[in-house]
């Protein structure tokens, strides 16, 4: 896998079928990452590049999706806040969280947004199962949840996507071992009464490389099963 994602000037790639996997080993500045992601999406639309999944982490920050309410930003505590074009509300990104920017051409796969979100959830659930964690969907809450045992759930993975001419971008964020205290500055995804967890908080000692291998292995099972 590549160590960093290509910059916009490097995107005249062969439009061969298949998904290119990109990995950044150092935290990627948010605005630069979004610019690279959007350039790749344009290249996919124009037939200059194949589909891609970019695995990365960000420095500590908050992002506000297109449905974000200002009242859900409780205390930024000095962390930067970025407006994001993805769907959803406020979320946190930071080291120890695996972000996967998913750039797929749904026109040739299945142009159904709801089905795509369900596939993303299934992908995360299958990945969590590799580590003995039972991730679950909720019909009224996007993302992947873990039962807490007191009638409430803890969120372990978030989903926020956008489509441009049926090519997806943004994607998912799976908590491996982030600083969970940073979630105190927001109402994550506008959902109250439930918590936030991570693999580490659940007693799973898997590293980022282990999670990446699982994500890649399960991706084919979910998205290439047809």
Catalytic residues: 189
User: Per 3-state DSSP, what percentage of the chain is helix, strand, and coil (rounded to 5)?
Assistant: 30, 30, 40
C-beta separation of 129 from 176 below 8 A: no
Q: 13 Cβ partners below 8 Å, 6+ apart?
A: 6, 20, 43, 48, 49, 50
State the Cα angle at 28 between 26 and 30, rounded to 5°: 160
The closest alpha carbon to 174, from 8, 73, 56, 72, belongs to 56
């Amino acid at each position: 896998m590549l160590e960093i994602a290509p910059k916009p000037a490097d995107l005249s790639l062969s439009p061969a079928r298949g998904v290119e996997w990109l990995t950044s080993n150092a935290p990627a500045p948010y605005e630069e990452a979004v610019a690279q992601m959007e350039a790749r999406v344009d290249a996919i639309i124009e037939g200059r590049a194949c589909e891609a999944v970019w695995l990365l982490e960000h420095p500590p920050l908050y992002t506000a999706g297109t449905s974000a309410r200002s009242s859900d930003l409780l205390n930024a505590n000095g962390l930067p806040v970025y407006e994001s074009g993805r769907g959803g509300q406020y979320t946190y990104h930071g080291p120890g969280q695996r972000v996967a920017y998913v750039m797929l051409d749904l026109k040739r796969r299945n142009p159904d947004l709801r089905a795509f979100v369900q596939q993303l959830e299934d992908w995360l659930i299958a990945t969590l199962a590799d580590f003995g964690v039972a991730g679950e969907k909720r019909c009224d809450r996007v993302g992947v949840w873990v039962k807490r045992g007191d009638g409430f759930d803890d969120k372990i993975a978030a989903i926020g996507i956008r489509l441009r001419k049926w090519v997806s971008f943004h994607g998912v964020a799976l908590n491996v071992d982030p600083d969970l205290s940073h979630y105190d500055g927001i109402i994550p995804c506008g959902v109250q009464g439930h918590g936030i967890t991570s693999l580490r908080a659940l007693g799973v000692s898997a590293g980022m490389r282990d999670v990446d291998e699982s994500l890649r292995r399960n991706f084919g099972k979910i998205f290439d099963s047809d």
